[in-house]
Amino acid sequence: MRKPVIAGNWKMNKLVGEASELVAGLWEEISGQDAVEAVVCPPFVDLPSVGRLISERGMTLGLGAQNMHWEESGAFTGEVSPGMLTDLGVTHVIIGHSERRQLFGETDQGVNRKVTSAFEHGLQPIMCCGETLKQRESGQTEDVVSGQVKCGLFELPAEWVSGLVIAYEPIWAIGTGVAASTADAQEVCGYIRGLVAAEYDTGVAESVRIQYGGSVTPENISELMAMDDIDGALVGGASLKADVFSRIVMFS
Ligand code: PEP
């Protein structure tokens, strides 16, 4: 039985005080729940205060970063290392979000190095993939997703992949208010599980958790979560308000 994992990607939002307010709000709404692995992914600068609040209040809430470098330390101006994240109590890390790929030139090879490094440091990677509208309309969705996933998994051992979270996020659904239909989301998430089975085996494929991301709301989460191959959600805009994100986490 795969435990659902619902992560809020705050992107470049929330000053330190606002971040604490949001987490305090989540504490009121979802502190006792254990049915879902709930995670918040604030900007780097909010991680220390949010991490402190989570531990002071004993919340069962994962603390995620939105990116990291694969190296442990060195001359990488502006970057943050996996050891710096674990030192702050970070548990999860989003890798290869489409905004990082499109705006900051992240490559599939870089994603693979980051995922590898995350596992080496005991961080739970959430590895993102997804196609553009143009690619979908020209029938390339499977090819694009397959390329991203296979390259992201390159040389990863089966025991790591069993514990991986893959987020399928069609780019045309991110921040647009137009989510993929549940059938389309299920189709691609099922396809990704099949890819993992082909690269590894069915045991690994049955363990890997696959999220859908792209305009998830309290209104569409239940229908998405009812799909066989959707094990959670990566949530952007709707994770910025405690009451809204809580309703997504408490979907069942
Ligand atoms: C995202 O950025 O990962 C995302 C899914 O955003 P939104 O929920 O706002 O579409």
- pLDDT digits over 51-92, tens only? 999 999 999 999 999 999 999 999 999 999 999 999 999 999
Ligand 1 and 128: CB distance under 6 A? no
pLDDT at 75: 98
pLDDT tens digits, one per residue of 13-56: 999 999 999 999 999 999 889 999 999 999 999 999 999 999 99
| Residues paired with residue 34 on neighbouring β-strands, in sequence order | none
Q: Report the percent of the chain where pLDDT is more than 70.
A: 100
HEC string for the chain: CCCCEEEEECCCCCCHHHHHHHHHHHHHHHCCCCCCEEEEECCHHHHHHHHHHHHHCCCCCEEEECCCCCCCCCCCCCCCCHHHHHHCCCCEEEECCHHHHHHHCCCHHHHHHHHHHHHHCCCEEEEEECCCHHHHHCCCHHHHHHHHHHHHCCCCCHHHHHCCEEEECCHHHCCCCCCCCHHHHHHHHHHHHHHHHHHCCHHHHHHCEEEEECCCCCCCHHHHHCCCCCCEEEECHHHCCHHHHHHHHCCC
Protein residue with least CA distance to atom 3, ligand 1: 236
pLDDT at 30: 94
Q: Is the pLDDT of residue 195 over 90?
A: yes
Q: The whole model's pTM is what?
A: 0.98
- Give the number of the atom of ligand 1 that is nearest the alpha carbon of residue 167: 3
pLDDT at 31: 86
Neighbour tally for 4: CB within 10 Å: 19
Instruction: For residue 110, give the CATH number of its domain.
Output: 3.20.20.70
Number of domains, the chain: 1
Ligand 1 and 175: CB distance under 6 A? yes
Protein residue with least CA distance to atom 7, ligand 1: 236
pLDDT at 32: 84
Structural domain boundaries, residue 99 = 5-249
- Give the number of the atom of ligand 1 that is nearest the alpha carbon of residue 237: 9
User: Cα–Cα distance between 48 and 244 in angstroms, integer?
Assistant: 24
Ligand 1 and 188: CB distance under 6 A? no
pLDDT tens digits, one per residue of 95-149: 999 999 999 999 999 999 999 999 999 999 999 999 999 999 999 999 999 999 9
- Give the number of the atom of ligand 1 that is nearest the alpha carbon of residue 11: 2
Ligand 1 and 213: CB distance under 6 A? yes
Q: Which two tokens stand for residue 152?
A: 């992201």
Mean pLDDT across the chain: 97
Ligand 1 and 234: CB distance under 6 A? yes
Q: Which of 22, 117, 23 is nearest to 79 (CA)?
A: 117
Protein residue with least CA distance to atom 2, ligand 1: 236
User: For 108, what's the count of Cα atoms within 13 Å in the CB-facing half-sphere?
Assistant: 13
- Give the number of the atom of ligand 1 that is nearest the alpha carbon of residue 94: 3
pLDDT at 252: 78
Protein residue with least CA distance to atom 8, ligand 1: 236
Q: Is the pLDDT of residue 1 over 90?
A: no
User: Cα–Cα distance between 94 and 106 in angstroms, integer?
Assistant: 13
pLDDT tens digits, one per residue of 198-211: 999 999 999 999 99
Catalytic center residues: 97, 169
**Is 168 in contact with 180 (CB distance < 8 Å)?**
no
pLDDT tens digits, one per residue of 148-173: 999 999 999 999 999 999 999 999 99
Protein residue with least CA distance to atom 5, ligand 1: 214
How buried is 75 (Cβ within 10 angstroms: 0-12 exposed, 13-18 middle, 19+ buried)? Answer: exposed
| Residues paired with residue 139 on neighbouring β-strands, in sequence order | none
